[in-house]
């Protein structure tokens, strides 16, 4: 049997050289890790978040590490902001090849206590924002005619309910279905692969308290984590780079487990 895999492909299948990536939520733990991962894999990075000061500080760190990067403050739930973000990426680097959507929001509350306005805020931040980014990034990618990759951060909670998480679980379930539908819309016609990563708890400023190994919260998590620990931002990068790289060209419409085995147990 003849070898059908070329060494050249294997040597470069995880490379993002020559690509431009928009990364939202870049001032967060996962978004920051993805921005750095894409940059170290060779991509030019357009880092985005709502806080201009924090964003500019992080973009400076990326540049200091040798990554070609710029920043653009935007609210991904604002249609005008998303349009401006895509335009800024094209104006700076000429095109957009990768979307790494890493932003998110939650305000846990029992449905009997949650206001309709709070529900709508979760929906806008976690669902509408993904729709807007996908819509305008896809339009740019389609116009370029080169295909592209969309890597959307969802959650393990997209497929599992939880008390106080009615808004968040519903939103992330919607994101997973949107990813599948986007793949049907975009992959065959435009060569744009769309996938999600579904993480459990990863270390961040907001979750640091959960990493106390003596706490009941940590011990309870470990009962359903075969990997034996919670996630670190660096654990997220491999899957994010893989789904943005040529190595994943055959994958689209997938919701990929980044739970340390949580879904298995």
Report CA dihedral (234, 239, 242, 248) to the nearest 10 degrees: 180
Distance CA 85, CA 73 (A): 8
Which residues, 6+ apart, have CB-to-CB distance to 91 below 8 Å? none
Question: Among residues 168, 218, 256, 262, which one is catalytic?
Answer: 168
| Active site annotation includes 165 | no
Phi–psi pair at 101, nearest 5 degrees: -90, 105
Judge whether 164 and 109 are in contact, CB under 8 Å: yes
Secondary structure element (H or E) that encloses residue 257, with its range: strand 255-258
Token pair 């653009």 in the structure block, residue: 72
Annotate 46-60 with DSSP letters as a single string.
EEE-S-HHHHHHHHH
Judge whether 33 and 21 are in contact, CB under 8 Å: no
Catalytic residues: 168
């Amino acid at each position: 049997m003849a070898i059908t895999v070329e060494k050249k492909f294997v040597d470069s299948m995880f490379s993002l050289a020559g690509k431009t990536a928009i990364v939202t939520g870049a001032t967060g733990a996962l978004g920051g890790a993805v921005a750095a991962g894409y940059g170290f894999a060779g991509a030019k990075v357009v880092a985005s978040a709502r806080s201009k000061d924090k964003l500019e500080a992080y973009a400076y760190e990326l540049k200091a590490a040798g990554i070609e990067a710029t920043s653009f403050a935007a609210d991904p739930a604002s249609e005008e902001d998303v349009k401006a973000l895509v335009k800024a990426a094209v104006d700076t680097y000429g095109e957009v090849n990768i979307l790494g959507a890493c932003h998110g929001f939650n305000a846990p509350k029992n449905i009997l206590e949650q206001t309709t306005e709070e529900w709508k805020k979760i929906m806008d931040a976690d669902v509408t924002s993904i729709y807007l980014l996908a819509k305008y990034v896809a339009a740019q990618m389609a116009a370029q005619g080169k295909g592209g990759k969309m890597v959307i951060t969802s959650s393990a909670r997209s497929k599992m309910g939880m008390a106080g998480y009615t808004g968040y679980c519903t939103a992330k379930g919607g994101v997973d279905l949107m990813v599948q539908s986007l793949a049907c819309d975009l992959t065959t016609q435009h060569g744009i692969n769309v996938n999600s990563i579904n993480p459990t708890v990863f270390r961040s400023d907001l979750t640091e308290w959960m990493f106390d190994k003596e706490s009941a919260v940590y011990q309870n998590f470990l009962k359903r984590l075969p990997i034996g620990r919670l996630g670190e931002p660096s654990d997220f990068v491999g899957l994010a780079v893989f789904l943005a790289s040529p190595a994943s060209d055959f994958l689209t419409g997938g919701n990929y487990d980044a739970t340390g085995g949580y879904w298995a147990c």
